A and B are shown apart, each in its own frame.
Chain A
Amino acid sequence: MIRVQEEDFDLGAELAKLTAGNMKVGGLAVFVGLVRDMAGDQAIGAMTLEHYPGMTEKMLARIEAEAKERWPLEASLIIHRVGRLEPGDQIVLVAAASAHRQAAFDACQFLIDWLKTKAPFWKLEESGEGAQWVDARDSDTAATKRWATPKKGTAE
């Protein structure tokens, strides 16, 4: 399941709902991204997440489908927030549930790695020196490449 929303999410409630009633799940791996108060040596007051409505949902659905094809998942969830966020706020949740931990861990990491380089979101950081668009990081691209061959349609 994927969701793009301005509202915050209740981590516990989302995870409980994700695996409720499914006794085949033996492991649930979760990553939650939070807004930091520093970017390098600069204090960040807030950030605004912009996205491309339509393409965002399409890419997230495709990333989730790819994870389900690669690992035997019982359930998965991607929630990404947009709009203005402050330090400490939750930005993103990815979760993967499987019978065993390895598939859950790997799929969870795959979901966030691919999301970071393929889903059309952009961060605008506000500091004392004004607002600045965040640059993409080479380390994120490298993290995505670990998962090898993207299928047709998910290449950047």
Chain B
Amino acid sequence: MKLLYFAWLKTKTGVAEEDLTPPPEVTTVAELLTWLRGRGPGHAEALADLTALKVAVNQEYAHPDDPVRPGDEIALFPPVTGG
């Protein structure tokens, strides 16, 4: 599974991109975020407030209950501020 981090998510986690293999019981976006928090203090801080977070699965906006699968591209980012 490819994880991408943008804006302050990238700053706080200290990574822009990482290839991870979560345990098989991680099957949804919400479960993935909980598991990611345990990866270290940077991830824990970046993912502390889930209301400030957007998730895209394979470049589509996703909800907490949406499934995640091996091989997916998962992006984590704050609310967008373009334009």
| Chain B associates with chain A | yes
Query: A: which residues have CB within 8 A of B?
Result: 33, 49-52, 54-55, 58, 80, 91-92, 112, 115-124, 133-137, 140, 153-156
B64 contacts the other chain (CB 8 A): no
How far apart are A2's CB and chain B's nearest CB, in angstroms? 13
Dominant SS among interface residues on chain A? mixed
A117 proximity list for chain B (CB < 8 A):
79-80
Q: Assess whether A133 is in contact with B8, with CB atoms less than 8 Å apart.
A: yes
Q: Assess whether B56 is in contact with A136, with CB atoms less than 8 Å apart.
A: no
Docked complex Cα distance between A116 and B7 (Å) = 16
How far apart are B24's CB and chain A's nearest CB, in angstroms? 27
Query: B: which residues have CB within 8 A of A?
Result: 4, 6-8, 11, 54, 56, 59-61, 75, 77-83
B56 proximity list for chain A (CB < 8 A):
52, 55, 120
Q: Can you name 21 A-B residue pairings with CB atoms under 8 Å?
A: A50-B6, A51-B82, A92-B83, A112-B83, A115-B82, A116-B81, A116-B82, A118-B80, A119-B80, A120-B80, A120-B82, A121-B82, A121-B83, A122-B77, A123-B82, A135-B81, A136-B79, A136-B80, A140-B83, A153-B60, A154-B61
Docked complex Cα distance between A153 and B39 (Å) = 30
Q: Assess whether B8 is in contact with A55, with CB atoms less than 8 Å apart.
A: no
B7 proximity list for chain A (CB < 8 A):
50, 122, 124, 133
